[in-house]
Amino acid sequence: MTQHFEINTLHRRKYMISFFSLLIIAGFISSQISASEIVKIIAILFTIPIILYLSVKWSNNKSTWEIDEQKLIIRFSNKTKTYHCSDIDHIRSLTRSGGNLYVIYLKNKSPKRFWRNKLFVSEDDHEKLHQHLLQQDIEYFKM
């Protein structure tokens, strides 16, 4: 029986590029203002939550995780990743401040990473996925 789980994931490269680009732009704009340095620093500090919000919204990449006895399928809007359970050594869920980092360790390939986001989004099926993975033959670690 196949189980489906909706997970709020981020496109990691798009997030990093947008976050640092917006931070550099804000710094450049701040440097052009004729004010004291402390005012410029405070202005940048107040723009960081806006930069974070915009970066998360632009890089949102919701995924659906499907798990059955033989495979794990991760579907995004523009691509699908399929991993056979026999090829998976173990899965780790590493807690991060803005969500989780899922790392799928494969037996003969490099690990695959997926960033789960919990900032500025509604609840997803992370806990249900966690419970389901604990019941599977796949080794699962939550750290």
All residue ranges of the chain with pLDDT < 70 are 143
**Which pLDDT score, from 0 to 100, does residue 131 have?**
87
CA angle 7, 70, 134 (to 5 degrees): 55
Q: Which CA distances in Å does 109 have to 87, 104, 112?
A: 9, 10, 9
- Give the whole-angstrom CA distance, residue 31 versus residue 62: 36
**Which pLDDT score, from 0 to 100, does residue 106 have?**
93
Domains of the chain: 3-9+61-142 (2.30.29.30), 12-59 (no CATH)
**Which pLDDT score, from 0 to 100, does residue 105 have?**
94
- Give the whole-angstrom CA distance, residue 48 versus residue 26: 9
In this prediction the pTM is 0.83
Say if residue 27 is exposed, middle or buried (CB neighbours under 10 Å; 0-12, 13-18, 19+). Answer: middle
Residue 23 contacts residue 55 (beta carbons within 8 Å): no
